[in-house]
Amino acid sequence: MNVMISGIPISNLLKVRKLFFLNLELISKLFAGPVGEDMFHWQATIMGPTDSPFSGGVFLITIHFPPDYPFKPPKVSFKTKVFHPNINSNGSICLDILKEQWSPALTLSKVLLSICSLLTDPNPEDPLVPEIAHMYKNDRAKYETTARSWTQKYAMG
């Protein structure tokens, strides 16, 4: 039997509720604002997602908006060291929406949420650090242990 509320299956309403609370939890872990008076230079803080080896970490991110923003993507990079296949030692982030998939409709909060999602779900098929991508694909336990260790060393101090 399919229970309905206002003609909508209750199972669909429960899915929407779960997504709402997931997004609410993610949003509560993101903070961003301008650095001083420069509206083109921002700093953001992302709390490590609980379902990842980055849990408990506090990650600083710098954001530089180009003069033609929102028609060009912001330059976003990690200041905190992160062991991740899509983030290199300079803090550069390999994320399609920061490159060829950029759209002026994307907001900063969507960009930061995408970075949170990337922490939880790396893309080893488009790595900035191939060695870490190889480890992620072939020895997940070692990857998670190393990422957790880096989080404790660089993002919890």
Token output for 70:
């929102």
The dihedral of CA 24, 28, 30, 31: what is its sign?
A: positive
Torsions phi, psi for 135 (to 5 deg): -65, -45
Whether 81 contacts 54, CB under 8 Å:
no
Token output for 10:
């209750």
Catalytic residue, candidates 76, 94, 147, 155: 94
Hey, is 41 helix, strand or coil? strand
The reply to whether 116 belongs to the active site is: no
Q: Which residues are catalytic?
A: 94
